[in-house]
Amino acid sequence: MPLRIDILTLFPEMFPPNLGNKHPQAGGREGPGRVSLTNIRDFATDAHKSVDDKPFGGGPGMVMMCPVVFDAIEHLEKLDARPATRILLTPQGRQFNQEMASEFAAKSG
């Protein structure tokens, strides 16, 4: 079964030029992988399509609203019976390398 990659973003228009016409190959699987872009704003419930709010307790900056992100993830996970591997990009995260790529390639979804 082909590898499925769902990208949840507020800026889906920035990905097509970077993805080009190529699809990532599914490591060790038959056929190409499939990349799908999902706009998180599509799951907002207010008229302004709000997805962020001020941090609890005040302070500078904004945080994503949990219900909007949760609804987007829940919707996508219902589209495929295989268990999903969630990857959240943060400045504090591990640097992506070949070892991590091999770990992801060994997973079913």
Q: For 45-83, what is each residue's pLDDT tens digit? A: 999 999 998 888 888 888 889 999 999 999 999 998 888
Q: For 11-38, what is each residue's pLDDT tens digit? A: 999 988 877 655 454 444 445 577 889 9
How far apart CA 10 and CA 41 sit, in angstroms, is 7
Task: List the chain domain ranges.
Answer: 4-105
Cross-strand pairs, 32: 25
Average pLDDT over residues 79-98: 88
How far apart CA 6 and CA 84 sit, in angstroms, is 10
How far apart CA 71 and CA 43 sit, in angstroms, is 6
Query: Which residue has 């979804």 as its token pair?
Result: 109
How far apart CA 23 and CA 102 sit, in angstroms, is 18
How far apart CA 55 and CA 64 sit, in angstroms, is 9
- CATH of 4-105 given 3.30.559.10, 1.10.10.10, 3.20.20.140, 3.40.1280.10: 3.40.1280.10
